[in-house]
Amino acid sequence: MKQAIVKINSKQYAVFEGQEIKVDRLNEESGVFVLFYSDEKEILVGNPELKNVSVTLKKLKDLKDKKILVKRFKAKSRYHKTNGHRQPVSIIKVEKIVKREKKENGA
């Protein structure tokens, strides 16, 4: 099974083909960098990234994550405040992990 560690929006995710993952909201400028690749035959580690390995991703949908409550409290002053936050996230599917062979110039 092909596996990879990719860097998306400055966070690292361990992925394999066919997996759906939840990441922070993606925009057009979001880059995907492959840091690690593994299959049944070999293991490749990038320094800092692998140029000959590509991961094909498909954005399925954009949505908001579950609500978390943020509370503030000050003792002895009867002050407390509650705010909610829902992080915008994207659900993406890893379609393919492809390792391209290096072209050798036979001169």
Give the per-residue pLDDT at 104: 64
Give the per-residue pLDDT at 89: 97
Region 4-12: mean pLDDT is 94
CA distances from 72 to 66, 68, 77 (A): 20, 13, 12
* Residue type (1 letter), 52: N
3-class state of residue 14 by DSSP: strand
- Domain-by-domain residue ranges, the chain? 3-99
Alpha helices, DSSP H only, in the chain?
none
Strand 68-74 to 32-38 pairing: unpaired
Give the per-residue pLDDT at 31: 85
Per-residue pLDDT tens over the stretch 9-65: 999 999 999 999 999 999 877 789 999 999 989 999 999 999 999 999 999 999 999
3-class state of residue 100 by DSSP: coil
Give the per-residue pLDDT at 103: 66
